[in-house]
Homo-oligomer: A and B are copies of this chain.
Amino acid sequence: MKPKSKRASGKPTIADVARLSGVGTTTVSRALRNPQGVSLTLRKQINAAINQLGYTLDRNARALAAARADTVAVLVPSLANSVFAEVVRGLYVGLGESQFQIQLGNTHYSGIEEERLLRVFLSQRPSAIVISGIDQTPAARKMLQDADCPVVQIMETGPDPIGLIVGFSHFEGGRTAARHLIKSGYRRIGFIGARMDPRSQRRLAGYRVEVEAAGLYDQRLVTTTPAPSSVSLGSQLIREAFSKAPDLDAVFCNNDDIALGVLFECARSGFPVPDRIGIMGFNDLEMMAAAYPSLTSIRTPRFEIGVRAMQVVLSAIAGNLEKHPVVDLGFELRVRESTKRND
């Protein structure tokens, strides 16, 4: 069969559809983007022509003409970390039936890489940008300020948002965790952390403030590493912690993977949980409730942050300006067996 159009590319264009359906290109374009703006009769003719020709829209041409891609750029520090996987899931859910597409970028916890990705993404003229955290490099911050589209920072709250911000306070999360352990009667309360990105640092700061206030702070109780967190790393770090402070009687873990590793190691070493040692994590991944003994954690609104951030994005794209640029979604202490002493 011969090509129906004379175009070089072979693919039918909006002009072919217009010709076949006997209307102008503008009308076809309109029928595609805003069907209500075109009479039912023409719409039918146009749709018939589209089907007959097998026409598909070229989004690159659209983006060029509209000076804007139907894209929301999303920058997260990790995809392997299930915390961010859930944020991303929330973002997709928040998208709903909207026409926008998510352009995902993984910064690998690197400010430099974030900057590079931002440059690439910006060159696509996205309709909005969602970026994780509040610790962008000065250059990245400037790019975001100059970007002529809405910018939403997520995962944290902070005093100086670039545009909008949806998250919660990691500092307060750390305080709440420490307070819980103190109230539960533990006295030698350690902190174990891997990765130690800015958010982990703030959780540690919260822990420290609270433990110091109780007169219980001891630097030997804190064990951290910049290495990426994992379950086996948790096992390793608790051993380290015990060697520095043999009388350790509770640990607040940076995140749930670490906490799980601690739990396994305690089981292996015959350290009863929660009586010999209390364990709690951070984020409250699904497994925490299923573990034996079940693990105390701080539930963070990861999914909700995604959903809400995307709602805020869509609203901003639509031109609505939010009254409250900072949305604090909070967190929740989930007390379970691993910190319930029986004494």
A interface residues, Cβ below 8 angstroms from B: 9, 56-61, 63-64, 67, 69, 79-80, 82, 85-86, 88-89, 92, 101-104, 106, 119-120, 122-125, 230-232, 234-235, 257, 260-261, 264-265, 267-268, 286-287, 289-292
Contacts and interface: CB of A to CB of B under 8 A. Distances in A.
A247 to B, nearest CB: 23
Nearest to A267: B292
A200 B125 CA distance: 41
27 contacts: A9-B67, A56-B119, A58-B64, A58-B125, A59-B124, A59-B125, A60-B63, A60-B69, A64-B64, A79-B85, A80-B82, A80-B86, A92-B106, A101-B120, A104-B104, A230-B290, A231-B287, A231-B290, A231-B291, A232-B286, A232-B289, A234-B290, A260-B287, A260-B290, A261-B290, A264-B291, A265-B292
Contact of A264 (B60, B61, B268, B290): B290
Contacts of A60: 60, 63-64, 69, 124-125
Contacts of A59: 120, 123-125
Q: Determine which residue in A58, A60, A79 has the highest number of CB atoms from chain B within 10 A of its CB, and name it.
A: A60
A94 to B, nearest CB: 13
B103 A103 contact: yes
Contacts of A120: 59, 101
B123 A58 contact: yes
Contact of A235 (B56, B123, B290): B290
A156 B65 CA distance: 41
B80 A232 contact: no
Nearest to A54: B146
A232 B286 CA distance: 8
A64 B9 CA distance: 11
Lowest 3 CB-CB distances: which A-B pairs, in order? Answer: A60-B63, A232-B290, A231-B287
A82 B59 CA distance: 31
A81 to B, nearest CB: 8
Contacts of A86: 80
Given A59-B124, A264-B292, A80 B69 contact: no
